[in-house]
Structure 1
Amino acid sequence: MSELEQILADIESSATTQAVRRSWNPGYQGEIDIRIAADGTWFHQGRRFKRDSMVKLFAGILRREDDAYFLVTPAEKLRIQVEDAPFVANLVECIEDKGQPAIVFTTNIGEKIVVDHEHPVRVDIDATTKEPRPYVRLREGLDALISRSAFYDLLNFAQETERDGVGYLSITS
């Protein structure tokens, strides 16, 4: 099994678990004092989560509906606060598989994302700073902010192309 095939198998296994969680649909029950900072750090009642295992557990039951974020279990649905994106993609690599490149991000919680039509990269422009804010779709409306270092690494995989006299950077995955 190639490295990319193993990554895709791991993602598919996670997607199966997510499909079960999608069927959970309790009514809205309120808010909980959990906040995800712009750098991907999780806080409860103002204190940073100390155990990564707790962050991963809660990340697995995180859901986005419109512009709101919720922790959803079979019995409860609690709103939390997210400053930007709930995750940060802090590593990127380009894996060649059967002559085709695949761009793979790793998030702050260890999840891997293969860039494709369902998991695109987009770049927003921050309204205040006018700086680029790059994101990659993780799953079901949840995005990961691409860290500055990962974004620069991603640009190393870009190819310059021209269309109708306009230059573009493109990435194939």
Structure 2
Amino acid sequence: MSLEQILSSLEQGKHAPTERWNPPYCGEIPIHIDENGQWHYQGSPIQRDRLVKLFASVLVHEQGDYFLVTPAEKVKISVADVPFIVVTWTKVTDVSPTVIQVTTNIDQQFALSEQHPLIVRNEQLYVDCGRDLWAKVHRNVVYQWAEIAQVQQHHGRDIYTIESAGSRFYLNQ
């Protein structure tokens, strides 16, 4: 697969077929994804969105470590928490049941569902982006969801939930 084919498939929202590649491990490179989902190379932010999307398309998570995988090589990178951030959302009401669609900092879109669940971990919200990759939900989105959430009492505590694609998701534990 050529670079142009990868970039073209990225624009269609696809990821590279990393599961079909088994390249040799070639060590670590100085790429880091910080807790805000910002990608850095040698300590400097990567400003080109298209380059970040290219890297994200070959990102894999294996046994707690993150790697960029191409047909020729596999290199380890560091990630502070998770690689992506949910930055916006939309409630799609012209389908039944109603769906909450989230968008990440690299323009990936997912419908909250059993396939892409919302979970609470360490008092933070995360969305499963597939391929064992996760997106942390930005605080602004959490506040917006809290405004539309259903509130239920459980053992004297308020439990906040939202519904999407026929599933209920908790905003707190």
- TM-score, normalised on structure 1? 0.80
* Cα gap change, 1:19 to 1:78, in 2 (>3 Å): closer
Compute the displacement of 1:79 (Å).
0.3
Classify the secondary structure of the residue corresponding to 1:39.
coil
TM-score, normalising length: structure 2: 0.80
Partner of 1:133: 124
Give the aligned residue type for 2:31.
I
Letter in 2 for 1:142: L
Aligned letter for 1:143? W
SS at match of 2:17: helix
Deviations 1:14-37 (A, max 9, x none): 4xx437332112132211110001
Segments of structure 1 that go 5 or more residues without pairing to the other structure are 1-12, 126-131
1:169 to partner: Cα distance: 2.3
Tell me the residue number matched to 1:75. 72
Contact 1:33 1:44 in 2 (8 A): yes
Partner in structure 2 of residue 3 of structure 1: none
Would the aligned equivalents of 1:35 and 1:80 in 2 still touch at CA under 8 Å?
yes
Q: Distance in 1 between matches of 2:70 and 2:148?
A: 39
Give aligned-pair identity as a percent. 37
Query: How far 1:159 sits from its partner (Å)?
Result: 1.4
RMSD: 2.1
Q: Which of these residues, 6, 23, 27, is aligned with residue 26 of structure 1?
A: 23
Relative to structure 1, the CA distance from residue 65 to residue 101 in structure 2 (aligned partners, 3 Å threshold; closer, same or farther) is same
- Specify the alignment match of 1:109 in structure 2: 106
Q: Structure 2 CA distance, aligned partners of 1:62 and 1:84?
A: 14
Paired AA for residue 136 in structure 1:
V
Change (3 A) 1:164 1:134: closer
Q: Give the corresponding residue for 1:145.
A: 136
Runs (4+) of structure 1 moved beyond 4 Å? 162-167
State the alpha-carbon separation in 2 of the partners of residues 28 and 116 from structure 1. 35
Name whichever structure is richer in helix by fraction.
Answer: 1
Deviation at 1:90, TM superposition (A): 0.8
Q: 1:68 to 1:19 in 2, by over 3 A?
A: same
Distance in 2 separating the partners of 1:47 and 1:165 = 47
Alignment of 1:40 with 2:37, yes or no, is yes
1:92–1:154 Cα contact (<8 Å) kept: no
1:157 CA displacement: 3.1
State the Cα distance separating 1:164 from its structure 2 match.
8.3
